Structure 1
Amino acid sequence: MVDGNRKHGRATAVLAIAVLMLAACADVPTSGPVVAGNPVRDPGPPPYVAFAAASPSPGDEPAGIVDGFLDAMRAYQPGYETATMFLTPDAQASWEPMAGITVHRGARPSIEELDDNVIRMTIAVAGTVDENGSFEVAEPGTTREIDLQMAQIDGEWRIANPPEGTLISEDIFAREFESHNLCFFSPDLEVFVLDPVYVPINAQTATLLTQMLLDGPSEWLDPAVHTAFPERVALGVSSVPVEAGVATVDLSVAAQDAEPAQREWMAAQLACTLSGLPEVTNIALDSDGVPLLSQDQPTIPATIDERYDLQRPGTVSVLTAVQDGAVVQRQDNEYEPVPGALGDPADVLDIAVRPVGDDVAVIGDGGFTVRVGTLSDGAQPDVIYEGAGLTSPSWDRNDVIWAVDRIDDEGDLVALRPDGTELEVRSEWLKDADVSNVSVSPDGVRMVVVADGAAYLALVVHDTENRERVSVERPRRIGPAGTAVDVDFSGAEHIALLSEEKSDEPDAEEAEHREVDVYLLDIFGSVVANRGSVLDATSVAADATGGTVVATEEGLLLEHETRNRWADAGEGTAPVFVRETVS
């Protein structure tokens, strides 16, 4: 968690990013949704010409003034000098252009002239960049109406009440911004938790990312992560120079109070955060000119430390599924039963595997029990929980087994320890919701929940004073419009989503087959890729390396190959990818 001063610094850094980005914006039409990820930056020159906004022309009508104001917000000048020319003197004094960014669909908002000299802008909102720099996807169909009061100043029309913040089109935002990850720690300091932020492609990225890292995590993520940097530590100089591949991070003198172990964690966070920059190969970490690293190692590689990397090298993904009530694994394109009791035809309905090791939680006995066993020996799994209609197990790295229990035809979240201890799940927003599916991210911090037919991204916060209490909070609606069917995390940065579009046709319910779309979302919930549709798809399994498998009502497994092409992957249900170490 971070204090208010640090949060203010984070907001200031983000606004500086917006300033730099808007200075470089160009009105070049592109297509497609807002895309987040961690793309490789192109070090070459930008393929566009900077847009220069025009000032108001004498005699412009109100609609022309509004159009000019929209254009001027795309091209930053100190104080948005050109944009303010379209405002009344009072509005110029009160307007806060850097209060946030609203990203809208379409080239520009629609404009309608109303009575009493009012211009109404209607915006199809794609998302917003909040004061902490996080992008939040708007719910499908979200619109915003802004009524601009027009007034005449010396015979010329001007805007008297501009909106707070700036407006930018989705296409330009996607073209000019790219996503990078700030790296924080899980509360136990065992793994990195990624906090993605957008930065302009041609910004001083190393400086901006370092400043944002020091300012702390986004407000949304803050309760669930830890940073090794002390609150009083800031950049000792105003930039992070990169010379011959070495980024020199000079911190304020307060960093010298950090113990050696804390310095190592600080360096690991920096190396992870800057690892996506091709111009940075090594990092030197100083404080007021005094090296903070050991004399034997004055710099460290700008790479993700394997000790904290969720996607550790030396592991492979093995497709695991259920056939005739038995757990099987794919080996050389053939399915082999796992050893022992779980590999015998029984009553297994669904499975979840512990992130580390070969322990497995299975839903069995017709959905009335959760059992815990292993994939490698013949012992009968132990019953740890009895429910009414259990589905959708997920085993997180905090050693919590999640599932949905359908009681009185309504799904509730259940959280269990492997010994059967039931945790208290606190979640105001899920109290009256019908939960059908759940998946926890590999870092254990985020959760995707399907509730009332919609997919939500939520934060998982473990109580530091009571180990048997956990909160699921801060929900954000994600994905396109439609009825969510199933979800699964694809590594720490992406989410696989099955979504069924409801038809308005009278006989839609009588259709022989359901057409279910398969989407890949980024961690903000924006669509990265539409992988086509699969008839009667019921569940999805995703792997960090990009593999995706769906199961159908007919008990078939289909594996994504390219674009919207799906290949036969055999028979089975409840697919899941199991990470195994390569010997």
Structure 2
Amino acid sequence: MIRRRFLPTVALFLALTGVAGCASLPETSPVQVLRQVGDGEGNTPPPGPVEGSNPLDLVRDFVFASGSSAAEHGSARRFLAADAVEWDDAATVTVLDGQFDTVPAPGAQDASTGTTTIRIRGTAVGRLSSAGAFEPDQATFQEDITVVRRDGQWRISNVPAGVVVPLSIFRDNYKQVRTWFVDPVRRLAVADPRYVPSVPSKAQPARALELLLAGPSGALLGAAVSQFPPGAQLRSNAAVGPDGALIVDLTGVGDLDEPARQLMAAQVVLTLAEVNVARVRLLVDGEPLLPGRPELTREDVAALSAEVQPGADVPGLVVAGGRVRQLTGPEPSAPLPGPVGNGAYYVESAASTGDGRRLAAVARQGSRRILLVGSGAEGSVSPVALDATTMTRPTWTPTGGEVWTVLNGTVVARVLVDGTAPARTGQVNADQLSALGPIRDLRLSRDGMRVVAVVGGALYTGAVARSIDGEVAIRNINRLRPDDLGEVVAADWRSAESIVAVTRGTEMLVGQVSVDGLNVQQVLGNNLTPPLTAIAAASNRPMLVTDQTGVWSFAGGDQAAWKQVLGGAPDAVPLYPG
């Protein structure tokens, strides 16, 4: 990826010459896309400068060539004059959207030196960190590059440190790899997206291991941990054995009990599965990490993945006209039993746990809101000790033992439900989030490690950090693609790495955004009547949105338009478990 950072593992790269096989990981159902925001023209990076290029074209081709990190950005270096041979390509990788300009900078010509200055201007969507994580920061970008005429040809004589590359070229040259770390509370593996160069592919396992040993990225810092202590390292270069399994021999891992060994195995095997390593012979100081199980596959550790998917038999629900009803399942539109379905409370929003056993609902009483918590199957609920002018729709942790809601746009409340004692209320430290504006919507990811929030009309993500003394905080706040999304109304998690949102825009009514903000896609908007007010999503289930006529469903794939599933309900709030 960046040459100085990967020098310690060159020998490891060279040893990985026969990695084969394919480990398939669960995918969300496809989303039909009208356009890919920031794709640009899809130009192929040139092999080197074109003979007789003018300064503007030279710099433009240099930017496209910079996407390839092979041979220390060897393709891009062919555009440099001898003056620029010390270009520091390891400083940063700034990713631009698809449209950028190369124009003469003010006072571009310098007759005394025979140079001219070309300005790159466009919009940056973010930067790749030294840990291979994408950090979103959509903002205006400009950078000046000096070119000089030598032997009748223009070449770059001065270029700022770092690499600038269009998004489409970045996608062509980098592969997303989920590195896996540990939820310290549930003791399960959680994904942390990173990016490694696509070429050479043989080096990808080594680079993935390097990122894994370095620990979680900034986005999950303080939330996820690693079973690898700081001194852990490879005892020898990873190598492919005679049977095709990748041999990974570790040292310095310390004394581990059996659960810790299993989690360490899950971290390694799930991470390597991202780069098509099907079988891993995982050793510590030459002996199997898991005694009696020298060789592991993704299936051997899949049960340790933290993301909870709603049960296939747990129906989607909808709140409409003050009542909670089934939206999917054997009896669509049937009200739930008990006070949430019979009108005893005027319900405004609700959420069930992943298994459907518990239900939380926000109900209106006069000008105030209360939170009800109880049984999802029976519909029996009781008020908890929360009262506010406004409450956001509830959201559950993966275990179903905790439900969150935002009071008056500022206070993130958590209610602990253990099934035996009365519900207990607490507060999440959300100062970093509430300082940005009123919180209009907040959803916990289904692995429990992140939140997505709509704050002041913008879309944000944050990590859920839990301390040993029981404090819970939302940290590492990132804003996602403000220029593309505009004013956001509501959002939900489609998967642990993907968010869907509805906006007040006219061009992108529904957008799907990667959790790190690198990618944003416009979802088909046929049949929808804006403004949209609510959205619900889950892996392998159709998206649900509410427009001015009711609730609509879209599953992607070959579906050509949204289908109405509930009419005459402009106030409806659909929900999937979680």
The answer (yes or no) to whether the contact 1:339–1:375 under 8 Å persists in 2 is no
Deviations 1:184-214 (A, max 9, x none): 1112143322101223445223332222212
Q: 1:222: Cα distance to partner?
A: 1.9
Q: SS where residue 172 of structure 1 aligns? A: helix
Q: 1:468: Cα distance to partner?
A: 4.2
For the pair 1:70 / 2:73, whether they are aligned, the reply is no
Q: 1:549: Cα distance to partner?
A: 0.8
Q: SS where residue 266 of structure 1 aligns? A: helix
For the pair 1:363 / 2:362, whether they are aligned, the reply is yes
Q: In structure 2, how many angstroms separate the alpha carbons of the residues matched to 1:70 and 1:340?
A: 63
For 1:530, the aligned partner's letter is V
Q: SS where residue 563 of structure 2 aligns? A: strand
Q: CA RMSD in A?
A: 3.5
Q: Any residues of structure 2 matched to 1:3-42 within 5 Å, and which? A: 12=6, 32-33=36-37
For the pair 1:98 / 2:96, whether they are aligned, the reply is no
Partner of residue 569, structure 1: 565
For the pair 1:495 / 2:492, whether they are aligned, the reply is no
Q: In structure 2, how many angstroms separate the alpha carbons of the residues matched to 1:15 and 1:530?
A: 41
The answer (yes or no) to whether the contact 2:480–2:516 under 8 Å persists in 1 is no
Structure 1 residues 307 and 343: alpha-carbon distance in aligned structure 2, compared to 1, 3 A threshold: farther
Partner of residue 443, structure 2: 439
Structure 1 residues 468 and 557: alpha-carbon distance in aligned structure 2, compared to 1, 3 A threshold: same
Q: In structure 2, how many angstroms separate the alpha carbons of the residues matched to 1:425 and 1:82?
A: 48
For 1:518, the aligned partner's letter is V
Partner of residue 261, structure 2: 263
Partner of residue 557, structure 1: 551
Q: Any residues of structure 2 matched to 1:431-580 within 5 Å, and which? A: 431=435, 433-465=437-469, 467-478=470-481, 480-501=484-505, 517-525=509-517, 526-532=519-525, 534-535=528-529, 536-554=531-549, 556-562=550-556, 565-571=561-567, 573-578=572-577
Deviations 1:286-329 (A, max 9, x none): 1343222212x221222352143424696444111123322222
**Bigger Cα displacement from structure 2, 531-540 vs 312-321:** 312-321
Q: In structure 1, how many angstroms separate the alpha carbons of the residues matched to 2:465 and 2:450?
A: 9
The answer (yes or no) to whether the contact 2:68–2:173 under 8 Å persists in 1 is no
Partner of residue 372, structure 1: 373
**Bigger Cα displacement from structure 2, 232-241 vs 383-392:** 232-241
The answer (yes or no) to whether the contact 1:110–1:123 under 8 Å persists in 2 is no
Q: 1:107: Cα distance to partner?
A: 7.0
Q: In structure 1, how many angstroms separate the alpha carbons of the residues matched to 2:78 and 2:3?
A: 29
Q: SS where residue 273 of structure 1 aligns? A: helix
For 1:112, the aligned partner's letter is P
Q: SS where residue 237 of structure 1 aligns? A: coil
Q: In structure 2, how many angstroms separate the alpha carbons of the residues matched to 1:33 and 1:107?
A: 10
Q: SS where residue 105 of structure 1 aligns? A: strand
Structure 1 residues 540 and 356: alpha-carbon distance in aligned structure 2, compared to 1, 3 A threshold: same
Structure 1 residues 86 and 257: alpha-carbon distance in aligned structure 2, compared to 1, 3 A threshold: same
Q: SS where residue 173 of structure 1 aligns? A: helix
Q: 1:155: Cα distance to partner?
A: 9.1
Structure 1 residues 564 and 197: alpha-carbon distance in aligned structure 2, compared to 1, 3 A threshold: farther
The answer (yes or no) to whether the contact 2:145–2:156 under 8 Å persists in 1 is yes
Q: 1:364: Cα distance to partner?
A: 0.5
Q: 1:462: Cα distance to partner?
A: 2.4
Q: Higher relative contact order at CA 8 Å, sep ≥6: structure 1 or structure 2?
A: 2
For 1:167, the aligned partner's letter is V
Q: 1:558: Cα distance to partner?
A: 0.9
Q: SS where residue 169 of structure 2 aligns? A: helix
The answer (yes or no) to whether the contact 2:59–2:102 under 8 Å persists in 1 is no
Q: In structure 2, how many angstroms separate the alpha carbons of the residues matched to 1:354 and 1:313?
A: 8
The answer (yes or no) to whether the contact 1:178–1:200 under 8 Å persists in 2 is yes
Structure 1 residues 289 and 109: alpha-carbon distance in aligned structure 2, compared to 1, 3 A threshold: farther
Structure 1 residues 234 and 9: alpha-carbon distance in aligned structure 2, compared to 1, 3 A threshold: farther
For the pair 1:129 / 2:128, whether they are aligned, the reply is yes
What is the aligned counterpart of 1:52 among 23, 47, 71? 47
For the pair 1:110 / 2:106, whether they are aligned, the reply is no
Deviations 1:116-143 (A, max 9, x none): 432222133233212111123442xx32
Partner of residue 336, structure 1: 334
What is the aligned counterpart of 2:404 among 402, 405, 416? 402
For 1:171, the aligned partner's letter is S
Q: 1:64: Cα distance to partner?
A: 5.7
Q: In structure 2, how many angstroms separate the alpha carbons of the residues matched to 1:49 and 1:553?
A: 44
Q: SS where residue 349 of structure 1 aligns? A: strand
The answer (yes or no) to whether the contact 2:56–2:102 under 8 Å persists in 1 is no
**How many residues are paired up?**
522
Q: Any residues of structure 2 matched to 1:208-287 within 5 Å, and which? A: 208-241=207-240, 244=243, 246-251=245-250, 253-255=251-253, 257-278=255-276, 280-287=277-284
Partner of residue 510, structure 1: none
Q: SS where residue 398 of structure 2 aligns? A: coil
Structure 1 residues 375 and 207: alpha-carbon distance in aligned structure 2, compared to 1, 3 A threshold: same
Q: In structure 1, how many angstroms separate the alpha carbons of the residues matched to 2:576 and 2:375?
A: 15
Q: 1:244: Cα distance to partner?
A: 4.4
Q: 1:88: Cα distance to partner?
A: 5.9
For 1:517, the aligned partner's letter is L
Structure 1 residues 173 and 61: alpha-carbon distance in aligned structure 2, compared to 1, 3 A threshold: closer
Q: 1:447: Cα distance to partner?
A: 1.1
The answer (yes or no) to whether the contact 2:500–2:512 under 8 Å persists in 1 is yes
**Bigger Cα displacement from structure 2, 69-78 vs 205-214:** 69-78
What is the aligned counterpart of 2:178 among 166, 181, 189? 181
Q: In structure 1, how many angstroms separate the alpha carbons of the residues matched to 2:92 and 2:265?
A: 31
Q: 1:441: Cα distance to partner?
A: 0.7
For 1:292, the aligned partner's letter is L
Q: 1:154: Cα distance to partner?
A: 8.9
Deviations 1:91-138 (A, max 9, x none): 433x21122222223376422253143222213323321211112344
Q: In structure 1, how many angstroms separate the alpha carbons of the residues matched to 2:532 and 2:439?
A: 18
Q: SS where residue 429 of structure 2 aligns? A: strand
Q: In structure 1, how many angstroms separate the alpha carbons of the residues matched to 2:503 and 2:451?
A: 17
Deviations 1:393-446 (A, max 9, x none): 22223744322333xxxx224222232423152423522512211111112221
Structure 1 residues 240 and 413: alpha-carbon distance in aligned structure 2, compared to 1, 3 A threshold: farther
Partner of residue 508, structure 1: none
Structure 1 residues 310 and 80: alpha-carbon distance in aligned structure 2, compared to 1, 3 A threshold: closer
Deviations 1:46-77 (A, max 9, x none): xx99853249x6x8764465356435534556
Q: 1:248: Cα distance to partner?
A: 1.9
Structure 1 residues 13 and 125: alpha-carbon distance in aligned structure 2, compared to 1, 3 A threshold: farther
For 1:365, the aligned partner's letter is R
Q: In structure 2, how many angstroms separate the alpha carbons of the residues matched to 1:34 and 1:287?
A: 45
Q: In structure 2, how many angstroms separate the alpha carbons of the residues matched to 1:495 and 1:374?
A: 28
**Bigger Cα displacement from structure 2, 209-218 vs 105-114:** 105-114
Q: In structure 2, how many angstroms separate the alpha carbons of the residues matched to 1:69 and 1:150?
A: 11
Q: SS where residue 224 of structure 1 aligns? A: coil
Q: 1:493: Cα distance to partner?
A: 2.0
Q: SS where residue 207 of structure 1 aligns? A: helix
- Using structure 2 for the length normalisation, give the TM-score: 0.80
Q: SS where residue 337 of structure 1 aligns? A: coil
The answer (yes or no) to whether the contact 1:10–1:216 under 8 Å persists in 2 is no
Partner of residue 350, structure 1: 349
Structure 1 residues 538 and 243: alpha-carbon distance in aligned structure 2, compared to 1, 3 A threshold: farther
Partner of residue 145, structure 1: 142
